[in-house]
Amino acid sequence: MGQAWPNPAVGCVIESGGRILGRGWTQPGGRPHAEAMALDQAGARAQGATAHVTLEPCAHVSARGPACAGLLVAAGVARVVTALTDPDPRTAGAGHAHLRAAGIAVTTGVLADELRQDLAGFLLRFAQARPFVTLKLAATLDGRIATQGGESRWITGAPARALVHALRARHDAVMVGAGTVRADDPLLTVRGMGALRQPVRVVLSRALDLPADGALARSVPEAPLWLLHDGTAPAATVARWEGLGARLLPVASGPGGIDPAALRSFSPTSSLRRARINSARSGESVSIAARSASMRALINRASERSASTAESASGAGVRRLAFKLAAMDSRAASSRPS
Whole-number pLDDT of residue 119? 86
Residue 35 annotated in active site? yes
pLDDT in tens, 187-218: 999 998 887 788 889 998 988 999 989 999 99
Check 15, 35, 56, 284 and give the catalytic one.
35
Backbone angles phi, psi at 62, to 5 degrees: -120, 155
User: Of 243, 237, 247, 287, whose CA–CA distance to 267 is shortest?
Assistant: 247
Whole-number pLDDT of residue 101? 96
Which DSSP symbol is given to 65? Answer: B
Sequence-distant (≥ 6) Cβ neighbours of residue 314 within 8 angstroms? 156, 157, 159, 160, 300, 301, 302
How far is it, in rounded angstroms, from Cα 78 to Cα 86?
A: 21
User: Of 10, 141, 185, whose CA–CA distance to 85 is shortest?
Assistant: 10
Q: What is the pLDDT along the chain (338 residues), one digit of tens a residue?
A: 667 777 888 999 999 998 999 999 888 777 789 999 999 999 999 999 999 999 999 998 777 778 999 999 999 999 999 999 999 989 999 999 999 999 999 999 999 988 888 888 888 888 877 788 888 877 777 777 777 776 656 778 888 888 888 888 888 889 888 888 998 899 999 998 887 788 889 998 988 999 989 999 999 999 999 999 988 888 999 999 999 999 998 888 777 777 766 666 555 655 676 776 765 454 444 444 444 433 333 333 333 333 333 333 333 433 343 334 344 444 444 444 33
Whole-number pLDDT of residue 273? 65
C-alpha torsion sign, points 179, 185, 188, 193:
negative
